[in-house]
Amino acid sequence: MLRALLLVQLVCASLVGYAIARWLHAGFITGLFGGAIALVLVRLAISANNFRMSARASSITPVEHRIGARAALVLFGEEFAASMRFSSWTMARAVPHLRVQPNSITPPVLLVHGYGCNSGYWAHLTPLLDAAHISHATLDLVPVTASIDAYVPLVEEGVRALLAATGARQVVIVAHSMGGLVARAWMREHGSARVARVITLGTPHHGTSLASFGLGENALQMRRDGAWLRDLAASEDAAIRALITSIYTHHDNIVAPQTSSELEGARNIAFGGVGHVALAANARILAAVIRELQAGAA
């Protein structure tokens, strides 16, 4: 599906480039450059619109996480670059994998992506896990618009395969966005005995206002404080919440209000100056994830 969307973008950019070359009587290179610029401008507009819509439902940013104009430009640039890189390169080439690191002292990690993504979203984190000698596996949540509960068997399959391959008794689940809700739904059905920790990145634990614009049953389930989210929360006790670390950003451009990522009873770690997609590319966030994994092992 992602490759088809990329093909559509390429065709549209080519048509724009052809029109520029013909109407302006310009050369092939000029038309090609013009088509590429048009495509980038459209993607920029989409990214800017996400920030605009999230700002309308934004929670109050704490003083320590407020940023100035320069940092805001860096935030937007990093988020746009991450979105382009993931959607146009890493996710388009992604294949789920399982890597076993011998003699690892850290529980193996199952990486669960979010809405509209795939295993390629973790392209920046997996090399760090390899460098830290941490066994890990990725998976793809399909179909894209299914119910969150429909992904539970995929997580169960991933957990079983990872434990069998490593000989470990427990896994750590690192999940982005909707993936954090998938992990919680999996624990609701299968319990937490095989879980050492769940680390969520930018997960809308209480829903997001932007879910109203999404497609699929999973988007419906992520609407602000909906029935599905309330039922999920009611199924959890203090012991389950104590297993969860929620890492989030007060400048999330998809989860709004941003404090929706704060989960009662969990360990909540807040950042500022980072966008939603960039959570798995930002050096500060990735370092925090590695610290959490190593601290859990200790």
Give the per-residue pLDDT at 297. Answer: 66
Q: Tell whether 90 is covered by a domain.
A: no
Quick one: 167 and 33 in the same domain? no
* Rg of the chain over all Cα atoms, to the nearest angstrom: 20
Quick one: 191 and 274 in the same domain? yes
Domain range holding 12? 1-56
* Of 213, 224, 232, residue with least CA distance to 257: 224
Give the per-residue pLDDT at 298. Answer: 62
d(CA 168, CA 290): 19
Quick one: 103 and 38 in the same domain? no
> Is there a cis peptide before residue 257, judged by omega within 30 degrees of 0?
yes
The upper half-sphere exposure of residue 62, i.e. CA atoms within 13 Å in the direction of its Cβ, equals 9
d(CA 119, CA 184): 19
Look-up of token digits 């809405």: 115
Give the per-residue pLDDT at 19. Answer: 83
Quick one: 140 and 44 in the same domain? no
Q: What is the DSSP string of 132-182?
A: TT--EEE----STTS-GGGGHHHHHHHHHHHHHHH--S-EEEEEETHHHHH
d(CA 162, CA 138): 10
* Residue 167 falls in which region: left (phi positive, over 0), alpha (psi -120 to 50) or beta: left
DSSP letter at 88 equals: I
Give the per-residue pLDDT at 296. Answer: 73
Give the per-residue pLDDT at 107. Answer: 96
Give the per-residue pLDDT at 119. Answer: 98
Give the per-residue pLDDT at 74. Answer: 97
Per-position pLDDT tens, the chain of length 298: 777 777 787 777 777 877 877 777 777 777 777 778 888 889 899 999 999 999 999 999 999 999 999 999 999 999 999 999 999 889 999 999 999 999 899 999 999 999 999 999 999 999 999 999 999 999 999 999 999 999 999 999 999 999 999 999 999 999 999 999 999 999 999 999 999 999 999 999 999 999 999 999 999 999 998 999 999 999 999 999 999 999 999 999 999 999 999 999 999 999 999 999 999 999 999 999 999 999 876 6
Quick one: 45 and 110 in the same domain? no
From residue 89, alpha-carbon distances to 85, 112, 123, 124, 275 in Å are 5, 19, 10, 13, 19
Quick one: 152 and 52 in the same domain? no
Quick one: 106 and 205 in the same domain? yes
Quick one: 161 and 246 in the same domain? yes
Q: Tell whether 71 is covered by a domain.
A: no
Q: Which amino acid is at 96?
A: P
Q: Tell whether 39 is covered by a domain.
A: yes
Return the ∠ at Cα 226 (arms to 222 and 228), rounded to 5°. Answer: 75
Q: Tell whether 69 is covered by a domain.
A: no
Quick one: 50 and 105 in the same domain? no
Quick one: 147 and 268 in the same domain? yes
CATH code where residue 241 lies: 3.40.50.1820
How many residues are recorded in the chain?
298
Quick one: 24 and 130 in the same domain? no
Quick one: 136 and 205 in the same domain? yes
> Is there a cis peptide before residue 153, judged by omega within 30 degrees of 0?
no
Structural domain total, the chain: 2
Extended beta strands in the chain, E state = 98-99, 109-112, 136-138, 171-176, 195-201, 244-249, 267-271
Q: Tell whether 65 is covered by a domain.
A: no
Measured from the Cβ of residue 100, the count of other Cβ atoms closer than 10 Å reads 14
Cβ(241)–Cβ(198) below 8 Å: no
Q: Tell whether 83 is covered by a domain.
A: no
Q: Tell whether 227 is covered by a domain.
A: yes
Q: Tell whether 85 is covered by a domain.
A: no
Look-up of token digits 């169960």: 156
